[in-house]
Amino acid sequence: MEARSGTRQEDSAGGLVLKYYLYKATKAVEFYRPIMYLFFLAQGLDFTQIAILEVVYNLTTLVGEIPTGYVGDRIGRRNSLLIGTALIAASLLGIGLAESFPALAVLYVLWSAGYNFRSGSEDAWLYDTLTDDLSENEFAHVRGRGESTALAVGAGAAIVGGYLGSIDLSYPWFVASAVTGLGVVVLLTLDEPETYKNTDADELSFQKTVGIVKDALSRRNIRAFILYYYVLYAAATYLVFVFLQPIFQTVVTDLGVATAQVESLLGWFYAAYSIVGAVLSYYTGAIKDQFGIRTWFLALPFIVGAALVGMYFVPILALPTFLVARGLSDVTRSFAGQYINDRIGTLGRATVLSSMAMVSGLAVIPFQLGSGIISDLVSPLFALAVVGVVLVVGSYAIIFWEAPIAE
């Protein structure tokens, strides 16, 4: 009887992980990503205005992360994911219809709020679900497979989005909104982990939650890591995605590609970019076993920083750098989630994880404003080279101050 019960529990856990993969496949970002900044430029925005939109997004993240994380801890991680996914689907539809900078700024607030609701709750739900099955050590592995699923689906979506964008730059946003809406349907089939249900979440006050967050952020084995990854590395590499499209356009047209072919070519490039990312994310667990989280984090900022500087002197290096950027980003995010989750408790987990996103959102603001201004004055390639120098120098300074990764 006990063996059969254990099998049912194992099947249930496996089924939940499969639903998690299905939910990840509905994120739909690759539909609009190949044309996102081209869409904004076509609406008459300049690089500084685009940077301001990103600042609006991150200010909303800053203000909303802890409150939405608290909501996720109180009403449940699944319910928080439902609210966030619905907001994102509505925002994508609105962006596709928007025709002015003020309208886009308002929609960016709603878009960011949707991700606020999902940012901490998603990883908290997954980690606690794996804890139910005593397999929380598999978090990086399962999360990596989830990102791989999203990227594999995104490869086809990027091609479709590129071709849709060549017809009308609004169409990819509409399709992305519809696919994101399917995530609501998937989430309705999920339940809260038993690990979460067994906590005193109903008695969790906001004041107590803030205390939990303060305690986590002040721990010696976490504080330097927050500066190293969530403040410096995450903020610097975020800009790679912001400037990918204009830099890609510059590089390929310099190679002789016609301007009219850029949108469709971007779709194929994003498909390749997603496939490379899917492969890297699929092997997150193997990468962790081979290199270890500590070695990965101590080496990667310097490799990425050198690549960003090298792109300025040899622009064609931007293509291979961009090709692997997403996969490296997702693998690194999974490792960061494993590292932090292993060092915090279930009670308040979503709020603590949301606070990490809040810190990252705050840190990226000066990077965004500075890079936007430098791009308008010089070029996006020069802006990323400056970011690469800041990443290398800043990483050295943090390591000199305190080891960011515990043994």
pLDDT tens per residue, range 270-308: 778 778 888 888 888 888 889 988 999 999 999 999 999
Q: CA–CA separation, 335 vs 313, rounded Å?
A: 31
Rg (CA), the chain: 21
Instruction: Give pLDDT tens digits for 215-229.
Output: 776 777 788 888 899
Residue 4 has pLDDT above 70, yes or no: no
User: What pLDDT score does 89 carry?
Assistant: 94
Quickly state the pLDDT bin for 3 (edges 50, 70, 90). Answer: very low
What are 111-123's pLDDT values in tens digits? 989 988 887 788 8
Tens digits of residue pLDDT in 55-70 = 888 788 778 777 777 7
Q: d(Cα 192, Cα 11) in Å, to the nearest integer? A: 16
Mutual angle of helices 380-401 and 234-254, in 10-degree steps: 150
Q: What is the pLDDT of residue 134?
A: 56
Nearest to 237 by CA among 301, 165, 152: 301
CB 110 within 8 A of CB 64: no
Mean of pLDDT values over 146-166: 84
Distance CA 223, CA 225 (A): 5
137 pLDDT higher than 90: no
CA distance 151 to 146: 9
Q: What is the mean pLDDT of residues 84-110?
A: 92
Exposed, middle or buried by CB within 10 Å (0-12, 13-18, 19+), for 102?
Answer: exposed
Confidence of residue 391 (pLDDT cuts 50, 70, 90): very high
Q: What is the DSSP letter of 39?
A: H
CA distances from 397 to 38, 56, 62, 126, 393 (A): 36, 29, 25, 34, 6
Distances from the Cα of 66 to the Cαs of 81, 118, 235, 357, 358, in angstroms? 15, 12, 19, 9, 7
Burial class (CB in 10 A: 0-12, 13-18, 19+), 5: exposed
Give the domains, in start order, of the chain with CATH numbers.
17-401 (1.20.1250.20)
| Cα maximum dimension of the chain | 72
Type of residue numbered 247: I
* One-letter amino acid for residue 98 of the chain: A
What is the model's pLDDT at position 10?
43
Residue (of 16, 44, 31) closest to 88 by Cα position: 31
8 Å CB contact between 143 and 283: no
Segment 10-19, tens digit of pLDDT: 446 668 888 8
Question: How far is it, in rounded angstroms, from Cα 116 to Cα 60?
Answer: 8
Give the C-alpha separation, 207 to 219, whole Å.
19
